[in-house]
Amino acid sequence: MTQSPARVSTLLQLAAGGAENASAIGAPDLPDLSYGALRALIGRTLASLNSAGIGRGDRVAIVVPNGPEAATSFVAIACAATAAPLNPTYRADEFEFYMSDLSAKALVVQNGSTSPAIGVARKIGVRIITLTPDPAAAGLFTLEAEGEAGACVKGYAEPGDTALILHTSGTTSRPKIVPLSQRNVAVSAGNIAATLHLTAGDCGLNVMPLFHIHGLIAGVLAPLGAGGRIYCTPGFNALKFFAWMTDSKPTWYTAVPTMHQAILTRASQNRHVIAAHPLRFVRSSSSSLPPQVITELEAVFKTPVIEAYGMTEASHQMASNPLNGVRKPGAVGIPAGPEIGIMDEDGKLLGRDEIGEIVIRGDNVTAGYEKNDKANAEGFTLGWFRTGDQGVIDSDGYVSLTGRLKEIINRGGEKISPREVDEVLMDHPAVRQVVVFAMPHPKLGEEVAAAIVLREGASADEAEIRAFAGTRLAPFKVPRKVMFVAEIPLGATGKLARIGLAEKLGLA
């Protein structure tokens, strides 16, 4: 039975939402794990960690491949200690930075792993715990710790304990540590489940990485709190997506825009799969989904596309278009968890239809960055968290993003929102994908550039694209440089990153 978000304040309570014999976790080629078995696994994990000297408040880095064990180890470890999932593809220097920065007490790696994280853990004195998957069910595992156990605070985590630690992406500065409490993540999971009307009858097909807030909260915790089933894939693969649909029979999936666009390129060959397994909705978050892609997704899957707005500091979801109600293309919806306001540079809250910085406050919002007084002073104003996003709330209460403040292009004093230019260029019939970004200019400071992936079989040149943009945009907004690329460089979570793109494409 789905629990009220207000009553659930720990992950242990969240995991109590499913019926004993109901399926909790599925995965390719493995029997499902029931909720009863998941709860027993959580209990055994608590005992294993406590006996190894790992308890409440201790940070446990998790370096496990995407899949069912990544989901269950996160949930089980976070019920007893503080989970810190890390990207398995990091190099040794990155593992050393992240594990040192978060003061990890232990590292969990899968049996047989050759990850450089192991050597780093031994170098910096972090205990290694080996996770061995049990093929009896998806996500089942045992833990074995190296070394001598020390003292720890035993027992299940309390609402105020830190459940999850993640770093911000650090595109323009040193990554910041974001601690999220048990209450933060449990409330956020409840908010998402309520927004999407998730029930025990739903099955979510998870293609998101499970070291990122989107996958952890929307992909795992929200359906778990509703007592539903989560089908855990090894990671996003457009070539396998429709085979996974056939296997899992999902009612929904959530992804970032680049994943949706890749899925659409395979949709025409898989219409029979879509017809055989109709989805209740498709969800998109983590970056803006172009309205053209929303229209195409809804036409292909014959179901609503729910665009949501989230970030790590809010335990993911902040706003969402409603499942039952008006969905406004170009808007990220109405507040769906925390309070949302628009603030000017001086800390004054603005009214409807006034553009400013989006600010939030609520039970799912972090209490502050760890060991970073400067970031906290800049990030919090009068109890509101400054998101760094520029936006507006319209007369109906819908939130629209006009750009990331750090991504706004300053062309000789003219401020340009890259997203506005993105949406114009996406209307060109030859354009499959586009990202507009700032490139350096010796006199203006910054100039507008665009990287474009063309549709298969389509053609266009720079002059044609610039002429097309010129019919819809003021001259200063028209990209001065248009690059055609086979694919646009993505971050580890599949998101387009405007900041730093000029350097990656050789334009700096």
pLDDT over 60 at 66, yes or no? yes
CA–CA distances in Å: residue 105 to residues 70, 90, 113, 199, 248? 19, 19, 19, 37, 37
The residue ranges of DSSP E strands in 183-292, in sequence order, are: 203-206, 229-232, 252-255, 281-284
C-beta neighbour count of 41 within 10 angstroms: 25
pLDDT band at 492 (very low <50, low <70, confident <90, very high): low
Which pLDDT tens digit goes with each residue over 245-278? Answer: 999 999 999 998 889 999 999 999 999 999 999 9
Q: What is the pLDDT of residue 11?
A: 96
pLDDT band at residue 1 using 50, 70 and 90 as cut-offs: very low
Residue 189 lies in a domain: no
> What integer best gives the mean pLDDT of the chain?
92
Residue 456's domain comprises 408-504
Give the type of residue at 40: A
User: Under a CB-based contact definition with an 8 Å cutoff, are residues 167 and 372 in contact?
Assistant: no
Which residues, other chains included, contact 299 with Cβ-Cβ below 8 Å and sequence gap of 6+? none
Nearest 10 degrees: CA dihedral of 253, 256, 262, 264?
Answer: 50
Cα 327 to Cα 334: distance, rounded to the nearest angstrom: 9
Residue 479 domain-assigned?
A: yes
* Phi, psi angle pair for 403, to nearest 5°: 155, 165
Is residue 293 in some structural domain? no
**What's the pLDDT tens digit per position in 397-442?**
999 988 777 777 878 777 787 888 988 999 999 999 999 999 988 7
Helix (H, G, I), strand (E, B) or coil at 23: strand
CA–CA dist 306, 323 (Å, integer): 7
Which pLDDT does position 2 carry in this prediction?
Answer: 38
User: Is 57 part of a structural domain of the chain?
Assistant: no
Average pLDDT over residues 468-490: 89
**Neighbouring C-beta atoms of residue 234, cutoff 10 Å:** 15
Question: Which residues are 500's β-sheet partners?
Answer: none
Burial classification of residue 154, based on how many CB atoms lie within 10 Å of its CB (0-12 exposed, 13-18 middle, 19 or more buried): middle
SS3 of residue 359 by DSSP: strand
> Pick the residue with more confidence: 35 or 149?
35
Q: Of 421, 17, 12, 387, which Cα lies nearest the Cα of 202?
A: 17
Count of structural domains within the chain = 1
Beta carbons within 8 Å of 218's beta carbon, 6+ residues apart: 192, 208, 254, 283, 285, 308, 310, 316, 317
CATH number of the domain residue 427 falls in? 3.30.300.30
- List the Cα angle 27/28/33 in 5-degree steps: 30
pLDDT above 60 (res 3):
no
Q: What is the pLDDT of residues 10-61, one digit of tens each?
A: 999 999 989 999 999 999 999 999 999 999 999 999 999 999 999 999 999 9
- The CB density around residue 339, as the number of other CB atoms within 10 Å, is 13
DSSP state of 157: P
Question: Is residue 77 a part of any domain in this protein?
Answer: no
> Residue 284: how many CA atoms within 13 Å on its side-chain side?
29
Between CA 387 and CA 164 the distance in angstroms is: 19
Tell me the pTM.
0.86
Beta carbons within 8 Å of 312's beta carbon, 6+ residues apart? 166, 168, 178, 180, 213
Banded pLDDT at 4 (limits 50, 70, 90) = very low
AA identity, residue 19: A
Q: Does 366 score more than 50 pLDDT?
A: yes
Per-residue pLDDT, 52: 96
Do residues 258 and 496 make contact, with C-beta atoms less than 8 angstroms apart? yes
Residue 191: predicted pLDDT: 96
Question: What is the pLDDT confidence band of residue 329, given thresholds at 50, 70 and 90?
Answer: confident
Residue 201 structure tokens? 């009858």
Length of the chain as a residue count: 508
In a domain, 412, yes or no: yes
